[in-house]
Amino acid sequence: MNVPDRYEETALDNRIELSESMEDYIEAISHLEDRLKVVRVKNIAKALKVKMPSVSSAFGVLARKGLVKYEKYDYVELTPIGQEVAYRLRRRHENLKKFLENILGVDEENAEKDSCGMEHHISRSTINNIVKFMEFVEQCPQGSNNCLKNFHDYLKTNKATDCMK
């Protein structure tokens, strides 16, 4: 199952507050930086399905918070602080998606969509407990694979079986 790291709280988390929309912009920039030489307004507009003036406005907000470097009509890049925020946002998203897929047996498409919705509304303590649960299941000496298999069978049949079998 390969359990991800816990989402540890840092001073950064207490300093920077972002709306759901701004979190989406940071994540989109980060994903596009992985694939492209430079990220431009049009790339973000296409990725998030928004208009280019909305992207420019968001970049202004993120620049004032010190999360991106952006000059009008130029490319955008995450600052070191922006990269840290992006890393944390992406980890939270990945943790939720893995939980939905690997533990609850949700198909990949729905896990992706649902984790996008959940990630903005889940507390650090909840995400940490999800990760701890995944660690527990993976390390459980009483047969975690059997329990997960039995749970997935239960989802299909509504009939519970003993996890020890």
Query: Worst-scoring range by mean pLDDT, 2-6, 106-110, 145-149?
Result: 2-6
pLDDT digits (tens, 9 = 90+) for 129-159: 888 888 777 776 665 567 777 777 888 888 8
Q: Specify the CATH number for the domain of residue 117.
A: 1.10.60.10
> Where in the sequence is the domain holding 59, given as residue range(s)?
11-85
Cβ contact 131:95 at 8 Å: yes
Q: Pick from 85, 105, 138: which residue ends a domain?
A: 85
Do 120 and 65 share a structural domain? no
Predicted structure pTM score: 0.76
Query: How many domains does one find in the chain?
Result: 2
Q: How far apart are CA 162 and CA 1, in angstroms?
A: 21
Do 62 and 19 share a structural domain? yes
pLDDT at res. 11: 41
